[in-house]
Amino acid sequence: MKPCITRRIFSLLAEAERLHWFSVSEIIFEERFEGGWQSRWVKSDWKRSEGKAGSFKHTAGRWSGDPDDKGIQTTTDARFFAISAKIPEFSNKNRTLVFQYSIRLEQEIECGGGYIKLLSGFVNQKKFGGDTPYSFMFGPDICGTQTKKLHVILSYQGQNYPIKKDLECETDKLTHFYTFILRPDASYSLLIDGRERDSGSMYTDWDILPPRKIRAVKAKKPADWDDREYIDDPNDVKPEGYDSIPKEIPDPKASEPDDWDEDENGIWKAPKVPNPAYKGPWKPKRIKNPNYKGKWRIPYIDNPEFEDDPDLYVLKPIKYVGIDVWQVKAGSVYDNILICDDPEYAKQVVQEVFANREIEKEAFEEAEKIRKAAEEEEAQRAREEGERRRRERGHDLRYRDRHRDKYRRHYSRDFDDYHGGRIPRNSDMLNEFTRSDDQKSFL
């Protein structure tokens, strides 16, 4: 093939890609934390001078579906953790952004983050930390039993905007994948373990731009608006004699008692009973209103303050991926970080890792059995130690009480009764003054 024809083909391919005639999938960054990962990641000195900086270790964790599949795990409780990697610069303009990673919270996390950030511009990686500006933040944040938040924060024109929805993360101790997909039409999908958990649009789920539509608060319901769903049937007529039907009638089954005396009791009358023919006050039948227009609601109108930004979804060019979290208890294993433009490839990664899901569950259950057995053994030792100490204290108390009673009996022999009371003899009073302080305090 002639060189000029080859150049022309590549030129057409590039133009087609620019115009989105077709899309070529691209993996921007993928980190499985295999050999050489230390050369790609820089540990930050953030909080180190204060003695509050934690560190990461390369490990598969205490239970894993594949012991050779290692990630990086936070270590040392009550620490700040910060680490970042520089990646090939990319922009999500005119393309789908897919960001995904896995995390396993092996610890009783109590309070701490498990999210990841994407950063733009220049970042001093040795000083990267919580105050470093970012373009996107995504992942779990747990504190106590109430806060189980899943952060989705986007930066727009230098300001951070959290999603308005209350999204919850997973809190068990198994591996979970978190995936965020952002498309050029500003729509998004949020997946957990490869399954869509939520979706929507940046226009409605973030307070970045004013809403396209607003309620017409001055609008009033039109006078001819009929919001009655059912009406009385105008063709229904009350039957003749309906109002003359009595509510009660004499009981047809009743009969005058044999011993009834009209002179004494008056004329006998049968007791009243409800009339089965009586249907209550007459009401016309109810029918569907043919003029029903539905419940009137305040209409929406175009918001005069709304000004569209076709690049609303575009983040600043991404150059770094970073983890900076605080954890009361450490032990989170980060792995399988992926930035690409192909949601299908992201699903494949999840399926590949989850092929060993059952093995991971079994390993976790076995680890839980060992942990509970160790806790029970420790509790038993504590109970036995407590019982031993109680026995020792009981022996000491009996020894002390026995000698105290013996001393008191000896002391009380020198008292006489006098006018119903007990008066010490002169010799005893002298002994009282000559006793040592220890003897007096014992009494």
CA 232 to mean position of chain CA atoms: 51
- Helix then strand then coil, in percent of the chain rounded to 5, is 25, 30, 40
Residue 100 in contact with residue 126, Cβ under 8 Å? no
Rounded to whole angstroms, how far apart are CA atoms 190 and 202? 12
> Given the structure tokens 């999908």, which residue do they identify?
189
Task: Give the number of residues written for the chain.
Answer: 443
**β-pair type (136-143, 111-113):** antiparallel
Q: Is 163 exposed, middle or buried (0-12, 13-18, 19+ CB in 10 A)?
A: buried
**Residue 361 class from Cβ within 10 Å (0-12 exposed, 13-18 middle, 19+ buried)?**
middle
User: Look-up: residue for tokens 């905007």?
Assistant: 161
Q: Decide if 142 contacts 171 (C-beta within 8 A).
A: yes
Beta strand 248-250 pairing with 272-274: antiparallel
The phi-psi region of residue 173 (left if phi > 0; otherwise alpha if psi is between -120 and 50; otherwise beta) is: alpha
The CA-based angle 109-110-112, given to 5 degrees, is 65
Q: Which residues are annotated as a binding site?
A: 115, 117, 134, 141, 324
Give the residue ranges of the annotated binding site for an alpha-D-glucoside. 115, 117, 134, 141, 324
CB-CB contact of 173 with 364 (8 Å): yes
Between CA 16 and CA 330 the distance in angstroms is 49
How far is Cα 151 from Cα 156, in angstroms, rounded to an integer? 16
Report the amino acid identity of residue 442.
F
Rounded to an integer, what distance in angstroms lies between the CA atom of residue 216 and that of residue 300?
6
